[in-house]
Amino acid sequence: MSVLAYLLAVWVFLIGVYGLVTSRNLIHAVVCLSVCQSSTYVLLLAIGYQWGATAPVFSGIASDAAVVDPVVQAMVLTDVVVNAAVTALLLAIAIQVHKRHHTIDPDRLRSLHG
Amino acid sequence: MTRRARLILFVFGACGFALLLAAALLSVPGFGTAQHRYAERAVLAAQVQRHTANAVASVTFDQRGLDTLAETFMFVAAVLGIAALLRRNPDEEEIPPRAHRQERRPPVPNTLRLAAYLLLPVTILVGIYIVLHGHISPGGGFQGGVVLGTAIHLLYLAGDFPTLARLRPVPVFEATEAVAAGAFVLLGFGAMLTGAVFLTNVMPYGTQGELLSAGTVPLLNILVGIEVAAGVVLLIAQFLEQALLLRRETARK
């Protein structure tokens, strides 16, 4: 049963890739990529989880309380920042694509011209 | 490749990928067990050695400080990249913000305007709180910085774009972002003056749970908070410029 948390990450990743493959809109594709990246949050947090443990912030809890892994949480923080940066960059590229090609349907972006 | 062929290819690839990944994940240590070797050491280092209540902040800004430095500069690079991508084309012309008046769009409801003006100071206060208390409660420079950076865009929701444009002079925010990111590096070199390694937490650790504790962690939180806030403002400024301030000369004629 407990392996479901990991399988959830696989499912979120694949549903994101499915969106990318079938996308008809670049902005939709950027969001799908975001969904793919969200699967890594689920995976990291699942790896760090511990039954019955609380958040790794020692204010108002006993100093020897069981806490979940703070290392993976810090990695998720990095992950979120990377995701925000990548999403913003790709949206900027989508704007430029629309300016030059007057479409954001990836299937209609066939010719190379700059 | 037709859409159908692409979908079939995807189904094959996805099935293979899912099988391999599922097989790999089955041999990962079980979900929710009490075995976390890094966690034990990280929590011990945060609590006993560094007196940092928020173990995540300790990992981010102290134990893995160098990674966070790289992360900070990655964000700077992203903002720079967007500024380069969204630079003005020769055939585009800027409309001055003052000329951007309400007549071009339907009026903003008064309730929305009131809510935005009321929430603006509250949101900025919350943002500052999250940045300053990053080492003793959940939060920190990245989270608080995003709150601060988006807070002033409540003015845009209130339909007051000219005030927003006056409040955030882009060159000032560019300089602020650069200075804050640079100060992060300087703080790292500052640690070397005491004979320690780059970015070592050399300041007194204080009492755990107090505002002045955890050594350099709150300082780095503040620097990252300023950097991220300025970066988010610049980011949104670029996108707003695209949407509101540029028009094509050819389209106008």
For an interface test with A, which of B15, B49, B50, B56 has the most A Cβ atoms less than 10 Å from its Cβ? B56
pLDDT band at B24 (very low <50, low <70, confident <90, very high): confident
Residues of A in contact with B54 (CB under 8 A): 56-59
d(CA A85, CA B76): 9
Task: Reply yes or no on whether the pLDDT at A63 is more than 80.
Answer: no
CA distance B237 to B233: 6
How many Cβ atoms are within 10 Å of B2's Cβ, its own excluded?
Answer: 8
What pLDDT band is residue B253 in, cutting at 50, 70 and 90?
very low
Q: Which of B151, B157, B146 is nearest to B121 (CA)?
A: B151
Give the start-end residues of each E strand in chain B.
92-94, 246-248
CB contact under 8 A, B6 and A21: yes
- How many Å from the N-terminal Cα to the C-terminal Cα in chain B? 40
In chain A, residues with a C-beta closer than 8 Å to the C-beta of B89 are 99
Determine, for residues A3 and B31 on separate chains, whether the beta-carbon distance falls below 8 Å.
yes
Which residues touch B227 (CB under 8 Å, ≥6 apart)? B72, B75, B76, B141, B145, B176, B177, B180, B181, B184
Mean model confidence pLDDT for chain B: 83
Share of chain B above pLDDT 90, in %: 23
DSSP assignment letter at B107:
P
Q: Where are the domains of chain B?
A: 3-252
The answer, for B14 touching chain A at a CB cutoff of 8 Å, is yes
Residue B219 confidence (pLDDT): 87
**Shortest distance, CA A47 to any CA of chain B (angstroms):** 6
Interface test with A, best of B21, B27, B37, B43 (most A CBs within 10 A): B43
- Give yes or no for a contact between A32 and A71, defined as CB atoms under 8 angstroms apart: no
Among A51, A57, A89, select the one facing B82 at the smallest CB separation. A89
Residues of chain B with Cβ-Cβ distance to A46 below 8 Å are: 31
Mean pLDDT value of segment A84-102? 88
CA atoms within 13 A on the CB side of A52: 4
Q: How confident is the model at residue A112 (pLDDT cuts 50, 70, 90)?
A: low
* Test the B interface: residue of A1, A81, A89 with most B CBs within 10 Å: A81
Q: A2 and B85: CB-CB below 8 Å?
A: no
CA nearest B8 in A: which residue?
A: A21
Q: How many CB pairs under 8 A join A and B?
A: 147
What digits encode the pLDDT tens for the residues B125-158? 999 999 998 888 888 889 999 999 999 888 888 8
Residues in CB range of B241: below 8 A, 6 or more apart: B86, B94
* Cβ neighbours of A105 in B, within 8 Å: none
Burial class (CB in 10 A: 0-12, 13-18, 19+), B189: exposed
Q: The pTM is what?
A: 0.85
> Mean pLDDT of all residues in chain A?
86
- Cα–Cα distance for residue pair B79/B176, rounded to 1 Å: 13
Residue B99 has pLDDT above 70, yes or no: no
Whether the complex's predicted ipTM is more than 0.90 is answered with no
pLDDT (tens digit per residue) in B151-168: 988 888 887 788 888 888
Q: Which residues of B21-37 are buried (b: 16+ CB within 10 A; e: fewer)?
A: beeebeeeeebeeeebe
Phi, psi at residue B93, to the nearest 5°? -125, 145
Smallest CA-to-CA distance from B238 within B83, B104, B40, B89 is with B83
With CB atoms and an 8 Å threshold, state whether B34 touches A50: yes
The distance of Cα B107 from the centroid of its chain, to the nearest Å, equals: 31
Q: How sure is the predictor about B252, in pLDDT bands with cuts at 50, 70 and 90? A: very low
CA distance B111 to chain A (A): 30
Q: Which residue of B has its CA nearest to A16?
A: B14
